[in-house]
């Protein structure tokens, strides 16, 4: 589903990723570990095509990312849920509308919207606007948006930055449930290991 083969990525003269190889396990939760500024965010960008490798191969759904044109990348992203490190909700619409608007724009059906809110314990937030929510609550809405469409692949860049410990545990339990029951695959970029039972790949020096 996602495979990096001897991937190098540099920006000008700065090498960000130096010969990274790994292959994630489908229908499970995977984590890529690395210290700050080790290239974890770049790994996430390489997967959804916001960046392309300088050398090496990034394969997603058996497709070489470097071979895709703009239209190909747009199509690819219809199958990937993305949780960004910074909260990215549209401010002028409610929490629920932040999910359903993706359906209107992409034509992709919302599969798990109510279930996602219920599992994360945020049903009471569905009609609130982002300005009415704490950063932690906004993060949970962003996570709900990433799973509501039952994307076969969900990638996350430090998704727990604003979450309290109990909500972090709740989210991880939801990811475990969805990987087992809904055949969804997760890859989380994080500085610290989230669980010993996740497949783990390392980048940079730890």
Residue 196: give its domain's CATH number: 3.40.50.300
d(CA 28, CA 30): 6
Residue 120 lies in a domain: no
pLDDT digits (tens, 9 = 90+) for 28-50: 999 999 999 899 999 999 999 99
In this structure, are residues 81 and 151 in contact, taking their beta carbons and an 8 Å threshold? yes
SS3 168: helix
Q: Which pLDDT belongs to residue 182?
A: 92
pLDDT digits (tens, 9 = 90+) for 113-134: 788 999 999 999 999 999 999 9
pLDDT digits (tens, 9 = 90+) for 135-194: 999 999 999 999 988 899 999 999 999 999 999 999 999 999 999 999 999 999 999 999
Q: Which pLDDT belongs to residue 38?
A: 92
In this structure, are residues 196 and 43 in contact, taking their beta carbons and an 8 Å threshold? no
Q: Which pLDDT belongs to residue 115?
A: 87
The domain of 42 spans 2-90+151-202
Residue 132 lies in a domain: no
Q: Which pLDDT belongs to residue 59?
A: 98
Residue 129 lies in a domain: no
Q: Where are the beta strands (DSSP E) in the chain?
A: 2-11, 14-23, 29-33, 55-60, 63-64, 80-83, 153-157, 185-190, 199-202
For the residues 9-18, what does the mean pLDDT come to?
91
Residue 64 lies in a domain: yes
Residue 49 lies in a domain: yes
Residue 184 lies in a domain: yes
pLDDT digits (tens, 9 = 90+) for 70-93: 999 999 998 999 999 888 899 999
Phi, psi at 46, each rounded to 5° = -65, -35
Number of separate domains in the chain:
1
Residue 134 lies in a domain: no
Q: Which pLDDT belongs to residue 106?
A: 63
Q: Which pLDDT belongs to residue 35?
A: 93
Q: Max alpha carbon distance in the chain (Å)?
A: 49
Q: Which pLDDT belongs to residue 166?
A: 96
Residue 118 lies in a domain: no
**Structure confidence at residue 105 as a pLDDT band (50, 70, 90):** low
């Amino acid at each position: 589903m996602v495979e990096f083969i001897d991937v190098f990525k540099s920006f000008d003269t700065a090498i960000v990723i130096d010969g990274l190889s790994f292959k994630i396990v489908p229908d499970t939760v995977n984590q890529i570990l690395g210290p700050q500024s080790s290239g974890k965010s770049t790994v996430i960008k390489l997967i959804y095509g916001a960046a392309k490798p300088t050398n090496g191969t990034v394969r997603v759904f058996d497709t070489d990312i470097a071979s895709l044109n703009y239209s190909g990348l747009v199509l690819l992203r219809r199958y990937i849920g993305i949780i960004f490190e910074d909260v990215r909700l549209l401010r002028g619409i409610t929490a629920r509308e932040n999910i359903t608007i993706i359906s209107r724009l992409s034509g992709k059906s919302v599969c798990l919207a109510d279930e996602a809110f219920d599992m994360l314990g945020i049903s009471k937030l569905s009609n609130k606007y982002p300005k009415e929510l704490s950063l932690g609550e906004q993060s949970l809405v962003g996570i709900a948006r990433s799973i509501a469409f039952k994307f076969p692949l969900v990638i996350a860049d430090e998704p727990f930055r604003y979450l309290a410990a109990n909500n972090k545990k709740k989210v991880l339990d939801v990811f475990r449930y969805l990987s087992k029951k809904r055949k969804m695959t997760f890859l989380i970029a994080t500085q610290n290991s989230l669980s010993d039972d996740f497949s783990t790949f390392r980048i940079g020096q730890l």
